[in-house]
Amino acid sequence: MSSIFCPALFIAAPSSGQGKTTITAAIARYHSLQGRQVRIFKMGPDYLDPQILEQASGHPVVQLDLWMAGEDYCRHQFYQAAETADLILVEGAMGMFDGEPSSADLAATFNIPVALLMDVKGMAQTAAALATGLANYRDDVRVLGLIANNCASDRHRQLIANALPAHLPLLATMSRDPEISLPERHLGLVQASEVRDELERCFNKAAAMIAQGALATLPAPVEFSSRELPVVAPLLLGQRIAIARDDAFSFIYAANLQMLKDMGAELMYFSPLLDQQLPDADVLWLPGGYPELHASALAENTVMRSQIRDFYLADKVILAECGGFMYCLESLRDLSGNSFEMLGLLSGQAAMRDRGGCQGMQTAVLPEGDIRAHAHHRSASDNTPDPIGCGRRQRHPAPGEEIYRSRGLTASYLHLFFPSNPAAIATLFNSKRKPESA
């Protein structure tokens, strides 16, 4: 097994909302401006943060999760990145020790040192106490120091720095500045494509703050070993897959696209919002996104809706995930209470909710095989048909998201991670798959 050494750093925090994406983007932008190749990975099943981080670094961002993707997959991704990168950054998820597996588990598995990020608003020496406790909580996690976010003044910074033990220095201070805050909405950060210029200003201002501290220097190299994955057979050779991709449908794992390509599929993209012609395809994939923010435009594009219905009535294969599933229902009610007509491939209505929803890891139990997945939505569906089954939650006995089949359509709130079961995905996307009865 060969190895490559590359400087690497894991950004973790005591909870969500501490500013991990902002700081990771700032570090990436600073080192990119120095002419270095920076590769970023995002812990967990996240679609929005990787869009932000890709713009900051100039390189695609891969999501990593030990449960959803497996250790071998993660190891292979790190090794590939280390072959060309000058710096590898990993943004953690939730709190450092939250979840099974947690951010700490991923950092420990690959021996990546951790920079602990903390929003220090409203505290000083207490921030040092919390940081020390987190750093000492597990022996297999190596914490290099603290990043103090939302710091009010130089005096505030000095109080924290003086209270930290010698082995846990203050690595960087990010001042309390609304101009480096990333815009958010109900499922998280706003998509990068919607605020590209604003993000540029955030990145460059935050990068200037990074230049003043220890994070301006590359961390020590980490050893990454190779672990080749099984070769994916060309099981979809010649299959033409049309993928919805625009501001309404953008929640797509790069790993899913790559696997379809490796299987020999030809990928085509279209916009249900803007296009008047569905690509000439064998299979249709409607991924998740924000259809609730664009429901009026989706409803008004009657030409596209008619073509997708014809595709469905021709018994062709369709996969609809989360937002794509909502698009397949009869109607969608947005957060303002307005209802819009959707595709009507499945009976039922989708409605956005002010609070609540579902979030977490699940396995999609399909006739083709089990595929690991996750759910993250703030909507509910009513009056839907009987499901063919439900997702299996990672660590809870209650049934997960319902899974529907009609003709060639498979629809659910679940977002599938294709590399977790390539054979099942190949069968699911096979245009010759026998359709269910309508």
CB 110 within 8 A of CB 90: no
What phi and psi, each to the nearest 5 degrees, are found at residue 325? -65, -45
What phi and psi, each to the nearest 5 degrees, are found at residue 258? -65, -40
- 322 has catalytic annotation: yes
Triad 248, 348, 396: Cα angle to 5° = 80
32-35's contacts with Cβ under 8 Å and 24+ in sequence apart are 32/56, 32/57, 32/58, 33/207
Give the number of other Cβ atoms within 10 Å of residue 47's Cβ: 22
CB 417 within 8 A of CB 253: yes
- Beta-carbon contacts of residue 352 (< 8 Å; ≥ 6 apart): 292, 332, 333, 334, 335, 378, 379
The one catalytic residue among 322, 328, 358, 390: 322
Distance CA 44, CA 101 (A): 9
Give the number of other Cβ atoms within 10 Å of residue 98's Cβ: 15
Question: What DSSP line would sit under 18-71, residue for residue?
Answer: S-HHHHHHHHHHHHHHTT--EEEEEESS-SHHHHHHHHHHSS--EEE-TTTT-H
Distance CA 343, CA 47 (A): 24
Instruction: Say which residue the tokens 């976010």 belong to.
Output: 149
Distance CA 40, CA 325 (A): 30
- Beta-carbon contacts of residue 239 (< 8 Å; ≥ 6 apart): 264, 265, 266, 282, 283, 429, 430, 431
**Residue-wise over 285-316: b if at least 16 C-beta within 10 A, else e?**
bbbbbbbbbbbebbbebeebbebbeebbeebb
End-to-end CA distance of the chain: 52
Distance CA 33, CA 208 (A): 10
Question: What DSSP line would sit under 108-170, residue for residue?
Answer: HHTT--EEEEEE-TT-SHHHHHHHHHHHTS-TT--EEEEEEEEE--HHHHHHHHHHS-TTS-E
Instruction: Say which residue the tokens 């000439």 belong to.
Output: 280
Strand partners, 369: 366
- Residues classed as catalytic: 322
